[in-house]
C-alpha cells in the first residue's frame, strides 16, 4: 500500500468498522426537526441520475423495512454512497462526505491488516 493510500485511509476512515452492523447495513446521518441522529439503514434501491448513482434507503422497524425520505420528498431520489458509513462516529463526523469510493479503501485496509496485497482499482 502506498503512503497516499494510507493517508486517505487515516483521513476518511479514522475508526474501525462496527461489527454490530448486518451485511448490507450502514449508518446514515438523518436530519430531523429535532436535530441530527444516526440511524441504521439498508440501501436497497439503485437510482441512476445524471450526476451519479443514488440509493433508496430503508430502516428496519418491527420486522419490516420502511422507506426513508432523505429530504427530497421523492422516492426516485436517495443518498449518494458517501452518505453511508460503516462506523457510527465516522457518520457523526462525516469523515468521507466527498468520497463515494470509501468502501474500496476499507477493503484495502482490511487486506493490508491481514497481510494480503491490497488492490485499489
Interval 50-79: pLDDT, tens: 889 999 999 999 999 999 998 888 888 999
Helix, strand, or coil (residue 16): coil
Interval 88-112: pLDDT, tens: 999 999 999 989 999 999 998 988 8
Strand-pairing partners, residue 78, are none
**Where do we find the cell 436497497?**
44
pLDDT above 80 for 26: yes
Backbone phi, psi, residue 93, to 5°: -85, -10
pLDDT above 70 for 119: no
Q: Does the predicted TM-score (pTM) go above 0.85?
A: yes
Amino acid at each position: 500500500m502506498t503512503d497516499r493510500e494510507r493517508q486517505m485511509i487515516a483521513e476518511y476512515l479514522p475508526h474501525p468498522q462496527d461489527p454490530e452492523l448486518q451485511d448490507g447495513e450502514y449508518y446514515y446521518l438523518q436530519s430531523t426537526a429535532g436535530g441530527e441522529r444516526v440511524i441504521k439503514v439498508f440501501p436497497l434501491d439503485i437510482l441512476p441520475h445524471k450526476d451519479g448513482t443514488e440509493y433508496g434507503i430503508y430502516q428496519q422497524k418491527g420486522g419490516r423495512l420502511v422507506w426513508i425520505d432523505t429530504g427530497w420528498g421523492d422516492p426516485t431520489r436517495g443518498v449518494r454512497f458517501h452518505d453511508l458509513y460503516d462506523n457510527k462516529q465516522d457518520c457523526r463526523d462525516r469523515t468521507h462526505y466527498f468520497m463515494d469510493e470509501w468502501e474500496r479503501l476499507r477493503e484495502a485496509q482490511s487486506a493490508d491488516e491481514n497481510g494480503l496485497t491490497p488492490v485499489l482499482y
